[in-house]
A and B are shown apart, each in its own frame.
Chain A
C-alpha cells in the first residue's frame, strides 16, 4: 500500500507538470479573449507556425523552397548557415509580431463589433491559412528542435527519493523538461502580470479588456493594443511550441495541443490568467489521477482525453463562468 501511495504522489507530481504545459497553451487563448473577446481557434496552429519558423531559421532553411523548386525548376533548400538558438527565437518573435500586425490589419480591423461566433469563425479561417502557409514555407517533414533544453528523468530526484518505498519503488520520476517548463511558465505568468500591472501599455491593455469604448475615449489606441495582444499570444505560442516541440519534434500534430487547452480554459475561465494556470494544474492532476486509479485498471485506459472535458464540465455545472472567470451578469 505505501507503494501505491507513493505512486499516486508520483502521478500527481507528473500531473502538475503536465498541467503546466497545458496552461502554457491556454494562456495564449486567455490573452486574446480577455482583450478582444475573440476565441482564438488558431492558437494551436500559431504554436506550430512559431515552432516551424524557429526551426526553419535555426537550420537556415529557404522558405517556400518546395514551391520555388516546383515552379522554377531550381534546387534550393538551405542557405547553409545555422543561427544560434537565442537569436533565432528573437527573429521568430519578429515574425510573430509581423503576423500579429497582419492579422489585425487584414482581418480583425474589418470585423470590429461582430458577434463572437463570427470572430471565432474568422480565427478558424486564419488557422487554415496559417496551416497551409506554414507547410508551404517550411515543408511537412518532422523537424528536430534543439534549443538546448535538457530532457529525460531527473536522476537526482530519483536517487533522493528511492529510499522512501519498498523494493517496488524506484524513486520519483520527474522529467527535466517539465521542470524547465514549470520555471518558464512561472516566469511567463509573473512577467505578464507585471507587464499588465506596471507598464503603460499593460494598463492600456487592461483598460481595453474592461471596456473597449471607455478605453477608446481616454485615448488608448485599440489598434495598437490588439496588435500587442496578438504579439503576446504569438510569444506564448512560441514558448508552448518550443516546449511541446522538444518532446515530439516539430510537426503538424503540434497544432492539436489546442485541444488539450480547451478544458483548461473552461475550468479556469476564459478571462483569467491565474485561472489558466490553476485550471491547467487541476486538469493535469485530475486526468492523470483518474487514469491511474480508475481508467487504466477498470476502463481499459486512454481515458484522459474525455475525462479532462468531463471534469471541466462538472466544474462548470456549479460555476458556469469557470473557476476564475468574470461573473456573468445578465440583464434583460
Chain B
C-alpha cells in the first residue's frame, strides 16, 4: 500500500539507475540519514555511544570492507583482525608523528597503508582458492599481530607495549582521548560510515564491482570473457583492506583509545567480522549493517534482559548468551541461508503487494 512502484516514473537514465529507484525506499533512506545525523547526536550519552553505536558503526565499516572481498569477489579472508591492526598502528604512528594534521586525513591514510599491505597478502589469492585461501590469510593475521608485538618501533618504544591514542581534535572538538563528547565521536564515525557505504555501493555496481562478481561466480569463465583476474582480485583486496584499515584506525583511536594488538586484533576479531557478513548477507551493503547490528546488539540485549531484568547470575547469562547466539545463527541459516539482507529483500517483495497479495 505504502510501498509501491505504481506512479513512480523514471524519465531519465539517471533516475532509473539510482541506488533507490523506488520513491518510498528513497525517502526512507533520507529519513534514516536525517535521524542518524540530526536526531541521534542529541539523544545519546556515553553509554549509548561507547557500548552500542560506536562498535556498531565501526564494525559496519569493517563488514563493508570484508563483504567486498568475500561477498562480491568471493575471496574468503580470515585476516581481518590483522588488517585492522595495520590500520590502528598506522593511525597511531601518523597521529604521533604529525599531530597537527587533521584526524580525517590520518584515518584515510591509515586506510591507504592497510590497502597496500592487503594487496601484498592478497597476492597468494592468484594461486590459492576457497578455504585454502581462508586459511592462508590466517598467515597474515598471525604474522601481523606478532610483528606489531615484536617491533617496538610500532608502539613508539613505550614501556607498556600498548598504543594509546593521544588527544586530537577536529575543528576544535576532541575526537580522541578521554575528554570527548558522545555526539562528536559518534558523528566522526558516522561520517566514515556514510562515506564507506556510499563508495562501496557505487563501486560494486560499477564496472569494477561487476568484474569482482564475475570472478566470484566463476573465475575461469570471467577470465575467458576478458576480466583480468590479477587486477580484479588485487583491487578487491585493496579496496577491502582500505575499509578494514579505516575501521581499525577508528576502533583504536576513537572507540577504545588504547589497544594491545594480540588481545584486540586477534583471530577472534577476524571471525567476528566474517560472522557479521554471513549473518547479514554476503554481497549486500545493507547486510553489513544488519549483521553488525545483530552481533553488537544481541549480546547487549541478552545481557540486559538476563542480568538487569531477570537477575540471573552473570556467568549463566554469559553462557546462555553463547548458546542463544549459536542457536540463532543456525536457525537463521536454516531459515534463510543468504542472511538478513535476503530476509529484508523478501519482506520488501511482500510489502510491494501488501495488502493485496493476489
Contacts and interface: CB of A to CB of B under 8 A. Distances in A.
Nearest to A115: B337
A73 to B, nearest CB: 12
Interface string B121-165: 000100111111001101101110110001000000000000000
A33 to B, nearest CB: 8
A300 B151 CA distance: 10
A120 B70 CA distance: 14
B143 A309 contact: yes
Contacts of A320: 127-129, 132
Nearest to B130: A116
A49 interface: no
B221 A309 contact: no
Given A107-B334, A136-B316, A312-B136, A124 B323 contact: no
A17 to B, nearest CB: 22
Nearest to B279: A121
Interface stretch (A52-60, A125-133, A164-172, A213-221): A125-133
B322 interface: yes
Nearest to A122: B333
A140 B278 CA distance: 29
A70 B278 CA distance: 35
Contact of A125 (B136, B320, B333, B337): B333
B315 A330 contact: no
B334 A110 contact: yes
Contacts of A266: 132, 135-136
Given A115-B337, A116-B131, A128 B322 contact: yes
Interface in B310-341: 312-313, 315-316, 319-330, 333-334, 337
B103 to A, nearest CB: 31
Nearest to A262: B135
B171 interface: no
Contacts of A135: 319, 322
A62 interface: no
Contacts of A270: 131-132
A164 B333 CA distance: 60
B224 interface: yes
Given A66-B316, A117-B278, A328-B129, A129 B327 contact: yes
Contacts of B327: 125, 129
A14 B300 CA distance: 45
B275 interface: yes
Given A124-B329, A132-B326, A309 B136 contact: yes
Contacts of B330: 106-107, 122, 125-126, 129
A34 to B, nearest CB: 13
B224 A332 contact: yes
Given A266-B135, A305-B142, A125 B315 contact: no
A266 B138 CA distance: 11
Nearest to A301: B150
B220 interface: yes
A265 B136 CA distance: 11
A121 B278 contact: yes
A130 B129 CA distance: 29
A133 B323 contact: yes
What's the dominant secondary structure at chain A's contact region?
helix
Contacts of B279: 121
Contact of A128 (B141, B146, B221, B325): B325
B62 interface: no
A330 B323 contact: no
A306 B81 CA distance: 14
A121 B329 contact: yes
A257 to B, nearest CB: 13
A263 interface: yes
B320 to A, nearest CB: 7
A122 B329 contact: yes
A133 B327 CA distance: 11
Contacts of A114: 333, 337
B76 interface: yes
Interface in A155-185: none
A309 B138 contact: yes
A321 interface: yes
A310 B315 contact: no
Given A128-B329, A310-B143, 14 more contacts: A66-B316, A111-B337, A116-B130, A117-B70, A118-B337, A132-B319, A132-B322, A135-B322, A302-B150, A305-B146, A312-B139, A313-B139, A320-B127, A332-B224
In the complex, the 7 A-B pairs of residues with the closest C-beta atoms, listed nearest first? A132-B322, A128-B326, A129-B326, A125-B329, A309-B139, A132-B323, A306-B142
30 contacts: A107-B330, A107-B334, A111-B333, A111-B337, A118-B333, A125-B326, A129-B330, A132-B320, A132-B321, A132-B324, A135-B322, A266-B136, A299-B150, A302-B150, A306-B142, A309-B141, A309-B142, A310-B139, A310-B143, A312-B135, A312-B139, A313-B128, A313-B139, A316-B128, A317-B124, A317-B128, A320-B128, A330-B220, A332-B218, A332-B221
